[in-house]
Structure 1
Amino acid sequence: MIKIENVTKKFGNHTAVDDISFEVKKGEVFGFLGPNGAGKTTTIKMITGFFKPTKGNIHVNGFDVLKNPLSVKKSLGYVADEPLIMEKVTGAEYINFIADVFEVPPETRIKRAEKLIEHFKLKDFIENPISTYSHGMKQKVSLISALIHNPDLWILDEPIVGLDPESAFILKKMMRNHANEGKTVFFSTHIMEIAEKMCDRIAIIGNGKIVFIGTVDELREARGNETLEQIFLEVTGSESEKIDFSYLD
């Protein structure tokens, strides 16, 4: 579903992503982990075609991201780390607009929208302007809009952030079901607990480089009996354990 080969992204003299390569397969929930600023969002924006790689190749669903950008965008559902959506329209109007973009037939979009709105408990607010929504409600509208055309590939950047516990539970269940149907979920997170419970495989990125790829069990085996939190901090080069807290005494 996703194939990344020797991809680098530079912004001026800063290398945000440094020669990374990995594949995401059909039928798996694939977690992309790393601390803030590690290169997760930059990588996702290259996969979805918002950023052009400085070097390397990316294929999504068999399409070259640079040569076939429209085919790539049509074949996936993308939720950004920040729900940047039109705020002067209602939630229903925005979802309908996105359904128009993806040419979803009227009867199909109505059925899907009704189910998704019910799942995310937005029925009482969907006719209100998005400007009146909380951050979590905007995130829900972004999710519904990304899934309205029923794409095989979901790309979700920190999708749990901002959601209430019930909605987060529902989304995680939807992600698992999507993969069980032979489709693919690629999502970023910096929370190891979510990755442990959700993912078939993970990739960890630190300072723009892939420092691990495999299952959580393989990561544990490679690192001994440490907690996942300790392992994550170690493989990403965190300085957390060296911090001096004596000034609080």
Structure 2
Amino acid sequence: MTVQVTDLTGGYGRTPIIKNINFSLQPGEIVGLIGLNGAGKSTTIKHLLGLLTPMEGEMSISNIDIKEDIEAYRQHLSYIPESPVIYDTLTLKEHIEMTAMAYGIDSETAMRRAHPLLNTFRLEDQLDVFPSHFSKGMKQKVMIICAFIVEPDLYIIDEPFLGLDPLGIQSMLDLMETKKKEGRTVLMSTHILATAERYCDRFIILDQGEIVAMGDLDALRAQTNMPNRTLDDIYIEVTQRGASS
């Protein structure tokens, strides 16, 4: 499974927000998508999800082109949004069942996959509760559980740690590591760069809608002529360069 993004230009109207974006994601890696607010991270993610139509460019997962078969394309990914999307009239169990139905997973398989996740996030006794009454952190855990029962090729995760307690954050990171070892791919957008540096294999740094640096930490250091510096240092440097240019 390879995710390929080629010459992607797009946005919300006639004026592009992201311009000429090119990258590939390989099986068994965690890739950090980082940049300032407004750099184009969410726009890139929405294009990858098929929520926005590109002005130019191509996107594919496992050689399935989004333009040729968007439904087949979407079956190969799952998404954890920054803000949880919860349905007031559905219980936690019904959220899981609805997700399973969308991906063609039978209810028994979905619940078998969900039970260890429910235990990890301490929600095993909440199956018949309406998550609309949960705290934001608990709602985020519902999103994580629903995304991980799918077991897709690609996980797209937008600011996954917002609202989570320290135990929840570590559990989330452990899940990402497990999926990486299974040969799946994680694209994670985050502002927590110390965590990204520790867990991501590669990084894509966006600034003003363009990729300004890409690669593992050593490659970023070489591209920016900043040997032995942290991801934080490199990020600040390249975004400041963009602001002053």
- The normalised TM-score by structure 2 is 0.92
Counterpart of 1:160 in 2: which secondary structure? coil
Q: Distance in 2 between matches of 1:152 and 1:21?
A: 19
**CA-CA distance at 1:47 after TM superposition:** 0.8
Q: Distance in 2 between matches of 1:212 and 1:119?
A: 36
Counterpart in the other structure of 1:229: 232
* Stretch moving more, 229-238 or 44-53: 229-238
Q: Please list every run of 5 or more consecutive structure 1 residues that lacks an aligned counterpart in the other structure.
A: 242-249
Q: Distance in 2 between matches of 1:106 and 1:90?
A: 15
Counterpart in the other structure of 1:24: 25
Please provide the CA RMSD for this pair. 1.9
Aligned-partner residue type, residue 238 of structure 2: V
Pair 46,239 (structure 1): closer, same or farther in 2 beyond 3 Å: closer
* Stretch moving more, 119-128 or 34-43: 119-128
Q: Distance in 2 between matches of 1:87 and 1:61?
A: 35
Counterpart in the other structure of 1:247: none
Aligned residues: 241
**CA-CA distance at 1:225 after TM superposition:** 4.3
1:37-69 Cα deviation digits (max 9, x unpaired): 111111111111111111111112211112211
Q: Distance in 2 between matches of 1:67 and 1:228?
A: 38
**CA-CA distance at 1:27 after TM superposition:** 1.1
**CA-CA distance at 1:227 after TM superposition:** 4.0
Q: Percent identity?
A: 37
* Stretch moving more, 35-44 or 220-229: 220-229
Asked if 2 retains the 8 angstrom alpha-carbon contact of 1:49 and 1:66, the reply is: no
**CA-CA distance at 1:137 after TM superposition:** 1.1
* Stretch moving more, 36-45 or 144-153: 144-153
Asked if 2 retains the 8 angstrom alpha-carbon contact of 1:48 and 1:72, the reply is: no
Counterpart in the other structure of 1:191: 192
Counterpart in the other structure of 2:159: 158
1:109-158 Cα deviation digits (max 9, x unpaired): 12111111111111233321121011111111111111212112211111
1:70-93 Cα deviation digits (max 9, x unpaired): 011111111122212212211111
Aligned-partner residue type, residue 46 of structure 2: K
Provide runs of 4+ in structure 1 moved above 4 Å. 238-241
